[in-house]
Amino acid sequence: MRTTVNILGVRVDKITAEDAVTRAEELLRTDGVSAIYTPNPEIVMAAYNNPEFLEILNKADLCTADGIGVVYASRMLKDPVPERVAGFDLTCSLLSRIAKTGEGVFLFGAKPGVAERAKENLEKTYPGLVVSGFRNGYFTPEDDDSIVEQINQSGAKLLLVCLGAPKQEQWIDAHRDRLHVNLCMGVGGSLDVFAGEAKRAPKIFIQCNLEWLYRLLKQPKRIGRYAALPKFILTVKKEG
Ligand code: UDP
């Protein structure tokens, strides 16, 4: 049974990072295709403004608070999530576990060459990890069938979809029924970090809940995306 908090219509799991990994492992070993999404304030706002996207997010089997803004929102609603569960961290923990069990992962997304470099690095970081296949994230709808085919042929149990939101969640939702993997995760720019293209914030920023500031300083052109944050907090205040 899931315990969730409703944040502007999005059901966000009230779960610790440790329990989220255990849940992800359970989903990986459950028949059928499960989905994990990890919304930040920008994604929650997008869903608030787009009922179809909201419906997709709410079809998740696990939906974690990625972003301190979502954690604050849950506190403002007096129904707090225990902590932030970043998609990147959840992915790392899950990969480290499946490196021991041999279940394969397929890496889908990012610019050409990135997923391949991510594969090389991940195999070094997690000895034993089986990367069953990879594919860049630039394609047209005509490619969908062959992408699904490639993923199914690979025999992977876990599919990381890194196309950015809402594209990744929409892609998972549209093809969930014909995928043979057990678990899909929409985890944004994770492949860029695994490939060494982008850096995760230093620990001190993460511990101080300032990862967003680090990313903003590194990529000032993301400023437009951060404009969603005050709007998000104000909307939660108004609606909550
Ligand atoms: N991307 C992709 N296909 C697209 C658009 C984006 O594969 O059509 C990739 C992009 O190369 C990047 C990731 O999706 O690797 C999105 O990263 P971003 O930092 O925007 O995601 P976030 O983690 O902030 O959601």
What is the reported pLDDT for 213?
Answer: 86
Residue 97: pLDDT over 80: yes
Residue 20: pLDDT over 80: yes
pLDDT in tens, 129-162: 999 999 999 999 999 999 999 999 999 999 999 9
Is residue 147 included in any domain, yes or no? Answer: yes
What is the reported pLDDT for 226?
Answer: 78
Question: Residue 221 — very low, low, confident or very high, per pLDDT cuts 50/70/90?
Answer: confident
Is residue 240 included in any domain, yes or no? Answer: no
Does the C-beta of 183 come closer than 6 Å to ligand 1? no
From the CA atom positions of the chain, what is the Rg in Å?
17
How far is the centre of ligand 1, averaged over its atoms, from the C-alpha of 40 (Å)?
A: 14
What is the reported pLDDT for 85?
Answer: 97
Which residue segment(s) compose the domain that 137 sits in?
A: 4-235
The number of distinct structural domains making up the chain is: 1
Is residue 177 included in any domain, yes or no? Answer: yes
Does the C-beta of 222 come closer than 6 Å to ligand 1? no
Q: Rounded to the nearest 5 degrees, what angle is found at the Cα of 39, between the Cα atoms of 33 and 45?
A: 125
Does the C-beta of 111 come closer than 6 Å to ligand 1? yes
Mean pLDDT of 53-82: 97
What is the reported pLDDT for 159?
Answer: 98
Does the C-beta of 110 come closer than 6 Å to ligand 1? yes
H or E segment and range at residue 13: strand 10-13
Torsional class of 12: left (φ above 0), alpha (ψ -120 to 50), beta (otherwise): beta
Does the C-beta of 189 come closer than 6 Å to ligand 1? yes
Mean pLDDT of 72-79: 96
Question: Do residues 24 and 90 make contact, with C-beta atoms less than 8 angstroms apart?
Answer: yes
pTM: 0.95
Question: Do residues 38 and 87 make contact, with C-beta atoms less than 8 angstroms apart?
Answer: yes
Question: Residue 224 — very low, low, confident or very high, per pLDDT cuts 50/70/90?
Answer: confident
CA distance 117 to 113: 6
* Residue with CA closest to ligand 1 atom 11: 110
**DSSP code at position 213:** H
Q: Which parts of 84-164 are beta strand (E)?
A: 105-109, 131-135, 158-162
Of 22, 69, 14, 23, residue with least CA distance to 237: 69
Question: Residue 128 — very low, low, confident or very high, per pLDDT cuts 50/70/90?
Answer: very high
Q: Is 120 helix (H, G, I), strand (E, B) or coil?
A: helix
Q: Is 227 helix (H, G, I), strand (E, B) or coil?
A: coil
Is residue 34 included in any domain, yes or no? Answer: yes
Q: Rounded to the nearest 5 degrees, what angle is found at the Cα of 100, between the Cα atoms of 103 and 184?
A: 35
Of 63, 56, 61, 62, residue with least CA distance to 7: 63
How far is the centre of ligand 1, averaged over its atoms, from the C-alpha of 138 (Å)?
A: 10
CA distance 126 to 41: 31
Q: Which parts of 86-221 are beta strand (E)?
A: 105-109, 131-135, 158-162, 183-186
How far is the centre of ligand 1, averaged over its atoms, from the C-alpha of 196 (Å)?
A: 15
Is residue 41 included in any domain, yes or no? Answer: yes
Residue 31: pLDDT over 80: yes
Q: Which amino acid is at 143?
A: D
Strand-pairing partners, residue 106, are 133, 159
Is residue 124 included in any domain, yes or no? Answer: yes
Does the C-beta of 164 come closer than 6 Å to ligand 1? yes
Pairing, β 158-162 against β 183-186: parallel
Residue 222: pLDDT over 90: no
